[in-house]
A = this chain, B = another copy of it.
Amino acid sequence: MALVTLSDIQAAAHRIEGAAVRTPLLRFDDGLWLKPESLQPVGAFKLRGAYNAVARLPEAVRARGVVAYSSGNHAQAVAYAAKLFGLPAAIVVPEDTPRVKVEATRSHGAEVFQVPVEQREARAAELVVERGATLIPPFDHRDVIAGQGTIGLEVLADLPDVATVLVPVSGGGLVSGVATAVKALSPSTRVVGVEPELAGDAAASLRAGELVRWPAGDRARTVADGLRAEPSELTFEHILAYVDDIVTVSEEQIGAAVGVLARRARLVVEPSGAVTAAAYLARPAEWASAGRAVAVLSGGNVDPEVFARYL
């Protein structure tokens, strides 16, 4: 299957300009720089891919609106992107989604459908048929991957001699895009994925050289609720082609990293977004010996009570 290319990502960068924040690279210590995607309008990198995918739709198709099923950052991103284009957005969420998330999605003007979790996909498919709207998937889509890849362009523009880029891995859209950009522009830079140990299926897959499936119940054990998905065929092809390694971190290391980022970098980062900093902080001298490292902090949508626990 055709992989995303550098020029796809460069075109995405032009499209998302003004919609997504051009996040700065923040020096954390002598060896680590942070890429705080938590500062995006919806609090996560997801806006890059969602906006690029919506922007790529032919105008007549786009006008019929967009659909997404997600309880998390992707839903917010699709709703926000639709608002910027002035389009209707229908978001399907599980019926037990916290009200605060439902309200946040509605605040972007989206229509929210709450259904039993196992009916999400079917309800979204119905909406696509009923409205002629387009489904924007969270990661299994070339335009979404290309949008996330713009992070890689920005990292290299700001720190051209970066030795290692650490990227959270869930469905693999983010790491696929970033690795495609980084390897095209700087082949000697290592791209390393990071997963929770408790949802380490992508690490296992990379070791095995083929997709290894973990039960959803196992993947749901981690506090990093944004990292419970699993790669698709498309994202795993990118991972095999461009990702050097995938490492894992413990729940304790994730929580400690959330606290360190709040106290020392003054950033509110969700557990899923902090796994990269956790990987660095677990053995800073080892990473630093290879040169400068960048940790992509993918998002900052964390319940205040959970966050306060780690301060």
Please give the count of copies of this chain that the complex contains: 2
Q: Output the least CB separation between A35 and chain B (Å).
A: 12
The CA of A269 and the CA of B39, in the complex, are separated in Å by 13
In the complex, whether A200 has a CB less than 8 A from a CB of chain B is no
Given A23-B24, A24-B23, A26-B21: A266 touches B39 (CB 8 Å cut-off): yes
Binds B, one of A164-172, A176-184, A300-308: A300-308
Mark interface residues in A248-285 (1 if CB within 8 Å of B CB, else 0): 00000000000100110111110000000000000000
Given A24-B21, A26-B21: A266 touches B269 (CB 8 Å cut-off): yes
Given A24-B21, A24-B24, A43-B266: A304 touches B311 (CB 8 Å cut-off): yes
Mark interface residues in A119-141 (1 if CB within 8 Å of B CB, else 0): 00000000000000000000000
Inter-chain contacts of A305 with B (CB < 8 A)? 311
Residues of A40-95 at the interface with B, using a CB-CB cut-off of 8 Å, are 41, 43
Q: Output the least CB separation between A93 and chain B (Å).
A: 20
Residues of A188-214 at the interface with B, using a CB-CB cut-off of 8 Å, are none
Contact of A268 among B24, B268, B301 (CB under 8 A): B268
Inter-chain contacts of A38 with B (CB < 8 A)? 266
Complex contact A307–B300 (CB within 8 A): no
Complex contact B24–A39 (CB within 8 A): yes
Complex contact A27–B43 (CB within 8 A): no
Interface on A for B, CB 8 Å cutoff?
Answer: 21-24, 26-27, 36, 38-39, 41, 43, 259, 262-263, 265-269, 300-301, 304-305, 307-308, 311
